[in-house]
Amino acid sequence: MKPVSPQLEVKRQHKNRTSVSQAVRNSLTMAYRGLLKVRRTPEQLFDVTFQPIIFTLMFTYIFGGAIAGNVHNYLPMIIPGILIQTLIGASVTSGVQLRDDMDKGVFDRFKSLPIARIAPLAGALLADVVRYVIATTLTFAMGFLIGYRPEGGIASVALAGVFAIGCAWAVSWIFAFFGVIARHAAAVQGISMLALFPLMFVSNAFVPIKTMPDWLQWIAKVNPISHMIAAVRELTNHGTIGTDFVLSLLGAAAIVAIFAPITVRVYMRRA
């Protein structure tokens, strides 16, 4: 076989480069593929449909009286907590499904296509935004049905929903990274939940931080999930944007900036 000349190899690499606009188009096309997959297997929506309903009812009526004195006073605290918990939990599924597709050889075909290298990954994560929208809508709807009336107004609630979805999408890049480095989908689930559970419960999601021991309060206060929940509470209950909102957005941007290129690089080597 005749060896490939260096000049031809350089031309081929140059040809394989894609513009930003093409990368966006390719990612949207892959996102559409992900939506078609959800339509064929609607059980993928079980976690974002049943979890907001079950967890809202369970935590509200079991812990509401003990923590806030009554259910009505507990709702402004628990609804934002349930929202972030559900969305972050749903982002774990992104990594699990990614690993499952890679195990089935779905992405092998994508690597041979003249598309942006980031498109299969970004498209899959963009398709999950639909799941986040469903979870957000159901969480606020359930809260409204049992008496939650956010004082921030509809506009602030909508902004809080967009903010929470954006943060969840950013976090999904972490679990996508787990998806490309793990050997099996079950391993992704185990690793992700092991990392997620302490963060979710050592936070301000379900109880006031001041009720915790001093050493645990410090952990809960620096917990990024606590900042996200506090930002949603400030928006929905007061209609204000505070420091927690800004810190959460900066953290989300940093996650994408770090994990997106790393995940794509590892994916191209292992997929």
pLDDT digits (tens, 9 = 90+) for 116-143: 777 888 888 888 898 999 999 999 999 9
Structure tokens at 108: 């092998």
- Who wins on pLDDT, 124 or 163? 163
Amino acid at 98: L
Q: Which of 128, 98, 121, 109 is nearest to 26 (CA)?
A: 121
Using alpha carbons, select from 214, 212, 260, 28 the residue that is nearest to residue 126.
28
Helices (H), the chain: 6-16, 20-40, 46-68, 71-103, 106-111, 119-145, 154-181, 185-201, 214-222, 224-233, 243-270
φ/ψ of 146, rounded to 5, equals -100, 10
Q: Measure the CA–CA gap between 38 and 90, rounded to whole angstroms.
A: 14
pLDDT of residue 218: 94
Looking at residue 190, its pLDDT comes to: 85
- Concatenated DSSP letters of 206-249: SS-GGGS-HHHHHHHHH-HHHHHHHHHHIIIII----HHHHHHH
171 Cβ neighbours under 8 A, 6+ residues apart: 88, 91, 252, 255
Residue whose token pair is 């794509």: 264
Q: What is the pLDDT of residues 200-253, one digit of tens each?
A: 999 999 999 999 999 999 999 999 999 999 999 999 999 999 999 999 999 999
CA end-to-end span of the chain, whole Å? Answer: 27
Give the pTM: 0.86
The rounded distance, in Å, linking the Cα atoms of 247 and 86 is 20
- In this prediction, residue 14 has a pLDDT band, given cuts at 50, 70 and 90, of very low
pLDDT for the residue numbered 270: 65
Where are the domains positioned within the chain? 22-270
